[in-house]
Amino acid sequence: MPMNYSQIRADLKALIEQIRANKAIHREFGQPNLTMKVRWDLIALKEEATRLCCLRAHLRGKIHLSNKYRTRKGMQDPMTRDEQLGYVTNLLHQYELPATVAEQAVAA
Residue 73, classed as helix, strand or coil, is coil
Q: Is the pLDDT at 102 greater than 70, yes or no?
A: no
**Cα gap 62→56, rounded to integer Å:** 9
Q: Which residue, 59, 66, 94, 95, is CA-closest to 80? A: 66
Tens digits of per-residue pLDDT, 48-94? 999 999 999 999 999 999 998 887 788 889 999 999 999 999 999 99
What proportion of the chain, given as a percentage, has pLDDT over 70?
A: 93
For residue 13, what pLDDT is reported?
97
For residue 27, what pLDDT is reported?
86
- What is the value of pTM for the model shown? 0.82
Please state the domain extents for the chain: 5-107
